[in-house]
Amino acid sequence: MMSVSLLLSHRVKAGLSVTEASPNLPLWLLAELTYACPLQCAYCSNPIDYSTSRQHELSTEEWIRVMTQAREQGAVQIGFSGGEPLVRQDLEILVSEAKRLGYYSNLITSAVGMDNKRIARLKEAGLDHIQVSFQGADRELNDYYAANKSFDHKVAMAKEIKRLGFPMVLNFVLHRHNIDQIEDILELSLTLGADYVELANCQYYGWALKNRDHLLPSRAQLCRAESIVKRFRKEQAGNMELYFIVPDYYESRPKACCNGWGTTFLTITPDGLALPCQGARVIPDVDFPSVREHSLQWIWQDSPLFNRFRGNAWMKEPCRSCPEKEKDLGGCRCQAMMLTGDAANADPVCDLSPHHHRVLEAIERAQIGNGDIANSQIINNKNKEQPLLFRNPKNAKQLKS
Ligand code: SF4
Ligand code: SF4
For residue range 328-371, what is the model confidence (pLDDT) as tens digits? 999 999 999 999 999 999 999 999 999 999 999 999 988 875 44
The CB of 44 under 6 Å from ligand 1? The reply is yes
Pocket test for ligand 1, best of 2, 39, 135, 143 (most atoms within 8 A of CB): 39
Using alpha carbons, list the distances in angstroms from residue 385 to 113, 211, 233, 389, 390.
35, 11, 38, 12, 15
pLDDT grade for 21, boundaries at 50, 70 and 90: very low
Using alpha carbons, list the distances in angstroms from residue 253 to 70, 330, 356.
32, 9, 10
Contact call for residues 10 and 175 (beta carbons, < 8 A): no
Q: Residue range 134-159: average pLDDT?
A: 97
The CB of 325 under 6 Å from ligand 2? The reply is yes
pLDDT grade for 14, boundaries at 50, 70 and 90: very low
What confidence score (pLDDT) does residue 54 get?
Answer: 85
**Which of ligand 2's atoms lies nearest the C-alpha of 323?**
4
- Distance between CA atoms of 40 and 50, rounded to whole angstroms? 12
Q: 344 C-alpha vs ligand 2 centroid, how far in Å?
A: 12
Q: 349 C-alpha vs ligand 2 centroid, how far in Å?
A: 9
The CB of 339 under 6 Å from ligand 2? The reply is no
What confidence score (pLDDT) does residue 380 get?
Answer: 46
Which bound ligand lies closest to the C-alpha atom of 133? 1
The CB of 248 under 6 Å from ligand 2? The reply is no
What confidence score (pLDDT) does residue 117 get?
Answer: 98
Cis before 318? omega within 30: yes
pLDDT grade for 372, boundaries at 50, 70 and 90: very low
The CB of 97 under 6 Å from ligand 1? The reply is no
Q: What residues does 273 pair with on adjacent strands?
A: 290
What confidence score (pLDDT) does residue 385 get?
Answer: 62
What confidence score (pLDDT) does residue 369 get?
Answer: 54
Q: 145 C-alpha vs ligand 2 centroid, how far in Å?
A: 35
**Which of ligand 2's atoms lies nearest the C-alpha of 329?**
3
pLDDT grade for 400, boundaries at 50, 70 and 90: confident
**Which of ligand 1's atoms lies nearest the C-alpha of 173?**
1
pLDDT at 312 over 80: yes
pLDDT at 128 over 80: yes
pLDDT at 381 over 50: no
The CB of 322 under 6 Å from ligand 2? The reply is yes
Query: For the segment 243-289, what is each residue's pLDDT rounded down to a tens digit?
Result: 999 889 999 999 988 889 999 999 999 999 999 998 899 998 889 99
Contact call for residues 178 and 140 (beta carbons, < 8 A): no
Which bound ligand lies closest to the C-alpha atom of 37? 1
The CB of 278 under 6 Å from ligand 1? The reply is no
What confidence score (pLDDT) does residue 401 get?
Answer: 73
The CB of 331 under 6 Å from ligand 1? The reply is no
Q: 319 C-alpha vs ligand 1 centroid, how far in Å?
A: 34
Instruction: List Cβ neighbours of 392 (8 Å cut-off, separation of 6 or more).
Output: 40, 147
Contact call for residues 37 and 83 (beta carbons, < 8 A): yes
What confidence score (pLDDT) does residue 387 get?
Answer: 87
What confidence score (pLDDT) does residue 17 get?
Answer: 40
Which bound ligand lies closest to the C-alpha atom of 312? 2
The CB of 41 under 6 Å from ligand 1? The reply is yes
**Which of ligand 2's atoms lies nearest the C-alpha of 330?**
7
What confidence score (pLDDT) does residue 374 get?
Answer: 36
φ and ψ of 257, to 5 deg: -60, 130
- From the number of C-beta atoms within 10 Å of its C-beta (0-12, 13-18, 19+), residue 341 rates as exposed
* pLDDT > 90: percent of the chain: 79
What strand order describes the sheet that includes 196-201?
A: 241-245, 196-201, 168-174, 129-134, 104-109, 77-81, 28-32, 265-268, 274-275
Query: For the segment 29-63, what is each residue's pLDDT rounded down to a tens digit?
Result: 999 999 999 999 999 999 998 877 788 999 999 99
The CB of 318 under 6 Å from ligand 2? The reply is yes
What confidence score (pLDDT) does residue 8 get?
Answer: 43
349: amino acid identity, one letter: V
Least confident window among 107-111, 203-207, 289-293: 203-207
Ligand 2, atom 7, lies closest to the CA of 330
**Which of ligand 1's atoms lies nearest the C-alpha of 35?**
5
Least confident window among 16-20, 211-215, 321-325: 16-20
